Amino acid sequence: MARHYTTKEFFRQMPNALLVRYFQERGLFRDLDFTAMKETKPEVLFTAWMDLPEDQRHGMDAEFAEIFEMSCEKGWAALRDEAQWQLKHDPVELDDFITSMANLDGYPHRAMLTFLEHPECWKGATRFYHADSLAYWRKRKNMGHLEADTDDLSIRMLADALRTYFRHTEGRGDNCVVEPFRRGELDYFFAYPEDYSQQSIEWVEGEFDRRPHTPAFEVIYVYSQRDGTLDLNYRGSLKAIEPLQGIFASVILKLDELPPDPEDERVYDLAPLADRFFGFVRPLGTGIESVVVKRLRLSSRVKKGDRITLEADTKHDPHGVHILLDRLAAALPLNLYNVTQAELAALVVVDEDKPAKTISIKITHPNSCSLKYDEVGLKLRAMLEASGIEPKEPAAEPCAQG
């Protein structure tokens, strides 16, 4: 369950010493005796906070919400990753950063101290955290192993190409900005084209009204030069997926055309999930206690568009879907159907101090998966790979020696 932000809850979680630093840097609450305020008891601070003008509180509240979001294990992982890039030329400072932060008591302490002392690490880390929280990435393989061009000219060209594409196809995207980041061996590109104008219901200076505004929408690329893969996250028309991949190939990889992506190449092999006795491989230390198939979609190999969906209550019988499948087999030749979608329920220990939680995994042929790229999502993806559902890339043939 997502954590719910409130200003008072943020004050409760944050050490008083760091709240003092934050407000003193902004010239606020100099007369407030923070030493007399008990930890996790911020009522006096909250009262003083509510006495501030509304417009003054808004900007800080937005920062608090962002720090609150980063105050977790996933946020700390993103902060470490960005620090490794920003401080790569000073190994001593990098080691001091990671060691000192790891020794602090709690994620809120680490997030706030990074925000205050290492602002160069903040923006990239928040972008990584956001990307890790997204589902339904589109993976394209066979992209070659060329180095991504991240110079200023290439980034402007990518923004221009995206703006041109969306203006001509959807009538939006008049403006666009692209932010590149490096995370380990991966290149991230966060693009923000201009969306259609919208009206929202807002309170402004005590007045309740509808206000027009122009938000941005997202196009996120993650490129692996080592693996030759491109992951794309775009919440829009499926028709745009390949053109957006083509724009990246042309502008960032300087390819003449988008490399072919054979239709019969399956990233996810879902056929084994129809077997009642299929066993998921759960590596030790991952916290994955169990995995069951709760839903299967079968697509006809004979008549396009014909589908059968089987869903059962697996809490009472983990083989409920397979029992339904056995009944169906008595009436239909199942060899004329492919498994094209599956939904799994994984019981995973996320926090050692809390009961295991159920995480749903929706996989659709050929290459769509609902798992995020956060720590739990990566563990579950590794489980799928170890189980043969997401097969590893075939090893390259060794070169013959002349």
Checking phi first, is residue 142 left (phi over 0); if not, alpha (psi -120 to 50) or beta? left
Q: What average pLDDT values come out for the chain (402 residues) when binned by 10 residues? A: 82 95 95 92 96 92 96 92 95 94 92 96 96 88 94 97 95 96 96 91 77 91 95 94 96 93 64 92 89 96 93 92 94 92 94 86 86 81 88 48 39
pLDDT at site 395: 47
pLDDT at site 391: 59
* Residue whose pair of structure tokens reads 């407000």 in the numeric block: 23
pLDDT at site 2: 53
Q: Which residues pair with 176 in a beta bridge?
A: 193
- Count of all residues that appear for the chain in the document: 402
Does the bond joining 398 to the residue before it have cis omega, within 30 degrees of 0? no
pLDDT at site 306: 93
CB 185 within 8 A of CB 226: yes
pLDDT at site 262: 59
pLDDT at site 374: 73
Please, which residues have CB within 8 angstroms of residue 288's CB and are 6 or more apart in sequence?
280, 282, 346, 347, 348, 379, 380, 383
Q: Tell me the C-alpha distance between 58 and 51, whole Å.
A: 13
Helix (H, G, I), strand (E, B) or coil at 186: strand
Copy the structure tokens of residue 114. Answer: 């990074």
Q: What are phi and psi of 118, to 5 degrees?
A: -130, 65
The 8-class DSSP code of residue 391 comes to P
pLDDT at site 402: 37
Distances (CA, A) of 303 to 219, 226, 306: 35, 40, 6
Q: What is the Rg, in whole angstroms, of the alpha carbon atoms belonging to the chain? A: 25
pLDDT at site 269: 83
* Residue whose pair of structure tokens reads 């589109």 in the numeric block: 138
pLDDT at site 398: 46
pLDDT at site 267: 58
pLDDT at site 365: 85
pLDDT at site 351: 78
